[in-house]
Amino acid sequence: MANAIQLLTLDLDNTLWDVDKIIIRAEQNMRRWLADEAPLSLEHYNQENLPTFRQQVADRFPNKIHDLSFMRTEVLTLVMYAAGYEFQIGRDLANAAFDVFFDGRNQVELFPGAVESLTELSERYTIIALTNGNADIQRAGLSAWLSGAISSADVGKSKPSAEMFHAPLTQFSVRPNQVIHIGDNLIDDVQGAQNVGMHTVWVNLKGSQGPEEATISTNEASDQRGVHKEISHLAQLSSAVAEIAATS
């Protein structure tokens, strides 16, 4: 069919795993490392000072605010300088601390049903990550199912911006109605994808009603924004994709 599904774009954080749990653990690992390798930094790496450091980095590098790895490394660098470490030593410590964090950030625990659905879908479709986060699909163990990733750092914008959703269309030379975007956030994922004409699957694992400002189309074949499905467990993902594909 002319409109047959050619590509699945997939959000990662809170779609495939609980990102808050992962970030907390990664932060704990990094703080233990800091205590051993850069103990002076802990006086400055705290909730009182971090917002100021983040704003300083954002002001200095406004074109990098969507690159979470860059932002975190630069914040750590400012922390090291505030702690009195010399320039190159501070930079090296910041890079090493980020490496510890990033290793933990990619130690993911997939939600139930994820492995089975990704395995089944990857046999029939090209799947890529489309994420505002900075998880590495290879280090996170997703490369068996995903063919690549596009992040907000790559695009310079974050979902729900149209630029994020246009990026895979350009890269894979597909039309919006040939793509299904899968994600947990009604605005960033579903509304953003629908606004450019993609089909959508809302991964609603918590039974959320969604924010009031979300405007989601649920009309199926007749709606110009495509077919929309909602699932409450990742085991339902393959069937939701199949239902959309059957109408495309």
Q: What is the pLDDT of residue 211?
A: 63
Domain span holding position 80: 20-105
* Euclidean distance between CA atoms 230 and 25, whole angstroms: 30
Q: What is the pLDDT of residue 209?
A: 76
Same domain membership, residue 112 and residue 59 = no
In tens, the pLDDT along 146-189 reads: 999 999 999 999 999 999 999 999 999 999 999 999 999 999 99
Q: Are 164 and 157 in contact (CB under 8 A)?
A: yes
Q: Are 135 and 101 in contact (CB under 8 A)?
A: no
Same domain membership, residue 203 and residue 126 = yes
Same domain membership, residue 78 and residue 177 = no
Q: What are phi and psi of 201, to 5 degrees?
A: -125, 120
Same domain membership, residue 174 and residue 77 = no
**Domain-embedded: residue 1:** no
Q: Are 77 and 94 in contact (CB under 8 A)?
A: yes
The mean pLDDT of 35-44, rounded to a whole number, is 98
**Domain-embedded: residue 139:** yes
Q: What is the pLDDT of residue 213?
A: 59
**Domain-embedded: residue 97:** yes
Q: What is the pLDDT of residue 226?
A: 73
pLDDT band per the 50, 70, 90 thresholds, residue 203: very high
In tens, the pLDDT along 90-112 reads: 999 999 999 999 999 999 999 99
Other CB atoms within 10 A of residue 163 CB: 13
Question: Which structure tokens are listed for 121?
Answer: 């879908």
**Domain-embedded: residue 114:** yes
At CA 122, angle to CA 120 and CA 126, rounded to 5?
150
Strand order in the sheet with 228-231: 148-151, 126-131, 7-10, 179-183, 199-203, 228-231
Structural domains of the chain, count: 2
In tens, the pLDDT along 205-236 reads: 998 876 655 666 655 443 455 789 999 999 99
Q: What is the pLDDT of residue 225?
A: 59
**Domain-embedded: residue 2:** no
Same domain membership, residue 168 and residue 73 = no
Same domain membership, residue 95 and residue 57 = yes
Q: What are phi and psi of 234, to 5 degrees?
A: -65, -20
**Domain-embedded: residue 54:** yes
Question: Which structure tokens are listed for 94?
Answer: 């910041």
Same domain membership, residue 112 and residue 84 = no
**CATH classification at residue 80:** 1.20.120.1600
**Domain-embedded: residue 60:** yes
Same domain membership, residue 126 and residue 238 = yes
> Which has the higher per-residue pLDDT, 194 or 209?
194
The chain-wide mean pLDDT, for the chain, equals: 94
29-44 exposure pattern, b = at least 16 Cβ within 10 A, e = fewer: bbeebbeeebeebeeb
CA dihedral 9, 12, 14, 18 (to 10 degrees): 160
